[in-house]
């Protein structure tokens, strides 16, 4: 410790300026994760002493869960605001969508918080320090702004007051327009996290953000009928599900096309990208990708939407919409998980 104190930039165990003091962080850490036992450093022991193409192991399901939940939350709010403006859902459903969006975002943040370094995680506020260069900082700002705006939008109603920015007022319209804009920006920003670095070729392509955006919107469009069902009853849900079926169908086709293009493109790209594709189609991730993303996340929803559009599901709209929402959500999570798992670095030399 004394040694380190003499080194500029390695101020060991010194409380960082504006940061949480180490003693407090340690106490908070004990409360947060003490029950889980000692942490193990994943993604370090695999630094082998051979020349190869290493697979990233430091970002796993918690990051995938964060990406999925935050995307689903933003997608939900995006469609909720749009459909409310179009008069397709009532005010109660819109409020529930907004509230659910906040809850999903908070769970997403907790998931990523648990992934941060033990003890050091309590300085998470430092994530906001580099908006000019770090896409992560911009993404964190985006999700916090989105949460804040949604809380502001629903807080008066949830507290039982008459909202000064209720629907129909000028302030209310501006607020909702702002939420819509921030939701779009956030979906794009969070989707760009993986593609902004060129270390991992499979991630470093515009197709990855496009896929994430597509799956986020698909998640939103298939979840909204569920909320309508809960608040307005089956008839309203059936109407909305039928109205939204063409949108869901278009998004499914777009997502399938993007996925096919991405995998096909990567299969003829650089060697690490080809290793990623091999893992995806023939390796350990095959089950998640082919079974979870392709079949459950795309093929099953496509079948259900086709039946909805053909009018073959009369009387079965509720279970169909539920199955559609569940399949799309599971597929959305597994897409993020599979993409993270097949992150292969290029050669270090």
Residue ranges binding other proteins (CB under 8 A): 1, 3-4, 6-17, 19, 22, 38-41, 43-45, 47, 49-51, 53-54, 56, 58-59, 115-124, 126-130, 133-137, 140, 194, 196-201, 270-272, 343, 345-349
Q: Considering the complex, what minimum distance in angstroms separates the CB of residue 340 from other proteins?
A: 10
Residue 57 vs 286, nearer CB to other proteins? 57
**Residue 199, CA atoms < 13 Å, CB-side half-sphere:** 10
The SS3 assignment for 269 reads: coil
Q: Considering the complex, what minimum distance in angstroms separates the CB of residue 269 from other proteins?
A: 8
Residue 29 vs 157, nearer CB to other proteins? 29
CA separation for the pair 111, 109 (Å, rounded)? 5
CA separation for the pair 186, 136 (Å, rounded)? 11
Q: Considering the complex, what minimum distance in angstroms separates the CB of residue 272 from other proteins?
A: 5
State phi, psi for 55 to the nearest 5 degrees. Answer: -95, 135
Degrees, nearest 5: CA angle 339-343-344: 150
Q: Considering the complex, what minimum distance in angstroms separates the CB of residue 346 from other proteins?
A: 2
CA 62 to mean position of chain CA atoms: 11
Q: Considering the complex, what minimum distance in angstroms separates the CB of residue 155 from other proteins?
A: 28
Residue 78 vs 122, nearer CB to other proteins? 122
301 within 8 A of 248, measured Cβ to Cβ? yes
Q: Considering the complex, what minimum distance in angstroms separates the CB of residue 65 from other proteins?
A: 15
Residue 55 vs 180, nearer CB to other proteins? 55
CA separation for the pair 229, 155 (Å, rounded)? 23
225 within 8 A of 271, measured Cβ to Cβ? no
Q: How far is CA 11 from CA 14, 52, 125, 132, 300, in A?
A: 6, 35, 19, 25, 55
Residue 12 vs 177, nearer CB to other proteins? 12
Residue 97 vs 201, nearer CB to other proteins? 201
């Amino acid at each position: 410790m004394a040694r380190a104190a003499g080194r500029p930039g390695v101020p060991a165990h010194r409380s960082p300026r504006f940061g949480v003091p180490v003693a407090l962080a340690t106490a908070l850490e004990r409360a947060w994760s003490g029950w889980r036992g000692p942490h193990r450093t994943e993604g370090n022991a695999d630094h082998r002493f051979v020349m190869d193409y290493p697979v990233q192991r430091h970002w796993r399901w918690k990051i995938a869960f964060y990406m999925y939940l935050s995307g689903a939350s933003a997608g939900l709010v995006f469609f909720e605001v749009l459909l409310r403006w179009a008069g397709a859902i009532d005010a109660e459903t819109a409020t529930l969508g907004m509230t659910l969006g906040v809850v999903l975002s908070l769970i997403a943040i907790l998931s990523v918080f648990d992934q941060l370094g033990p003890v050091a995680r309590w300085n998470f506020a430092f994530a906001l320090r580099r908006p000019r260069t770090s896409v992560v900082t911009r993404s964190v700002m985006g999700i916090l702004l989105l949460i804040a705006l949604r809380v502001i939008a629903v807080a008066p109603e949830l507290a039982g007051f008459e909202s000064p920015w209720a629907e129909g007022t000028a302030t209310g319209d501006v607020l909702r327009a702002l939420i819509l804009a921030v939701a779009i920006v956030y979906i794009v920003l969070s989707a760009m996290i993986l593609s902004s670095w060129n270390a991992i070729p499979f991630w470093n392509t515009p197709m990855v953000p496009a896929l994430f955006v597509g799956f986020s919107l698909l998640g939103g469009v298939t979840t909204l009928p569920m909320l309508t069902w809960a608040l307005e009853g089956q008839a309203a849900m059936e109407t909305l599900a039928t109205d939204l079926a063409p949108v869901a169908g278009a998004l499914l086709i777009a997502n399938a096309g993007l996925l096919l293009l991405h995998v096909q493109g990567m299969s003829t790209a650089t060697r690490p990208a080809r290793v990623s594709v091999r893992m995806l189609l023939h390796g350990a991730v095959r089950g998640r990708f082919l079974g979870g993303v392709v079949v459950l996340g795309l093929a099953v929803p496509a079948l259900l939407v086709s039946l909805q559009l053909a009018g073959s599901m009369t009387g079965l709209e509720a279970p169909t919409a539920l199955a559609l929402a569940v399949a799309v959500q599971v597929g959305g999570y597994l897409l993020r998980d599979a993409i993270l798992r097949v992150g292969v670095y290029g050669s270090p030399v």
